[in-house]
Amino acid sequence: MALKEAYQKKEKLFAIKLALIVGLMLTSIKFTAYFLTHSEAILTDALESIVNLVAGLFALFSIHYGSKSKDDDHPYGHGKIEYISAGFEGGLILIAGFLISYESVRNLIIGHEVHNIDLGLVLTAVAGVTFFILGKFLITRGENLHSLSIIAEGKHFSTDAYTSFGLVAGLVFLRITGLQWIDSALAIGYSAFIIFTGYKLVLRALDGLMDKIDFATVEEIVKVLNDNRDKNWIDIHNMRIQKFGSQLHVDCHVTLPWYNNLEQTHLQMESIAALLNNHFENRVEFFIHPDPCLPAACGLCQIEKCNERKFAFQNKLQWTKENILANKSHQSL
């Protein structure tokens, strides 16, 4: 377990360091393009890349800190720092977007001229393609390593690539028509896109800090439980899921035969935890509260030879995200 966590931390740090190095090189290319062209739109693109680099440094810290083991002061680990990192990145993007929008509107009114547009187009296109490849790589690695910080960095670089592609198209149109105001109009449009990206990232970080239910994860858990169901698991309900970086903390109630001894009950709870940890690559911490079955649950119980049965079996309870989250046991009567 410790070796796997060390490997994941190493992979996360490698991904962020690669992003920072490549991002620094491409940002330099963008600023070179700006100084050659004096294009407001290219400056917008370059400034957003600067924000991504600063945010990447914070992400590097969050991954290093978030990978620390649990301690007495942090019994659930340090993974929540990744949400703070993502929120910080989103906040920086929002600030950059508003500042760029203000400056672009100002230049649209005052007016300015773009120079050496052909060279600027080539440099911007090269940076855009590279950012696109890097962004897809980071998103894939982040999803595999269950790291919100790396996913956020990947989305930033992907966003940077899309704005660069749109910028190239707009500058080509400017090159053909000679209409200088197109440059400022492009910058305004990109700033709006940047603001929206920052807003979505901040919202996602707040959802994580406030433990908003991840219904996709709930549905995944429900599917695993339904597909590997043991007849002794009469009911599962009142499930709660919290995310701490790449780790999951799950609380739930499990209805088990009341006549089982403590050891049998413990083994059933351990089997549920092992099942999900096998699926989620040992990222789940389980707190299971066992409930003794009541006569009202007999109609749902699939144990065939039960000497304590009060009512005949009626139908199999199919768990769903709705009934497994409900804070009540399921009964047949």
42, 124 contact by CB (below 8 A): yes
Q: What angle do CA 254, 257, 260 make, to 5 degrees?
A: 110
Q: Is the pLDDT of residue 1 over 50?
A: no
pLDDT for the residue numbered 11 = 76
Residue spans in the chain of domains classed CATH 1.20.1510.10 = 2-209
pTM of the model: 0.64
* From 43-47, 73-77, 81-85, 200-204, the region with the lowest mean pLDDT: 73-77
Residue 331 is classified by DSSP as -
Which CATH number applies to 215-325? 3.30.70.1350
Cβ–Cβ contacts within 10 Å for residue 167, how many? 28
Identify which has the larger pLDDT, 53 or 69: 53
Which residues lie below 8 Å from residue 315, measured CB to CB, with a gap of 6+?
299, 300, 332
Confidence band, pLDDT 50/70/90 cuts, at residue 125:
confident
Q: 217: which 2 tokens?
A: 């994860």
Residue spans in the chain of domains classed CATH 3.30.70.1350 = 215-325
Query: What tens digit of pLDDT does each residue of 148-191 get?
Result: 677 877 887 887 787 788 778 878 888 888 777 787 787 788 77
Closest CA to 147 of 282, 245, 213, 53: 245
| Mean pLDDT of the 136-142 span | 86
Confidence band, pLDDT 50/70/90 cuts, at residue 331:
low
Q: What angle do CA 106, 111, 117 make, to 5 degrees?
A: 115
Q: Is the pLDDT of residue 104 over 80?
A: no
Report how far Cα 320 is from the mean position of its chain's Cα atoms.
23
Q: Is the pLDDT of residue 299 over 60?
A: yes
Q: Is the pLDDT of residue 213 over 60?
A: yes
Which CATH number applies to 2-209? 1.20.1510.10
201, 155 contact by CB (below 8 A): yes
* Strand pairing class (247-256; 284-292): parallel
- Supply the mean pLDDT for the chain: 81
Query: Distances from the Cα of 156 to the Cαs of 93, 203, 236, in angstroms?
Result: 9, 15, 40
Confidence band, pLDDT 50/70/90 cuts, at residue 228:
very high
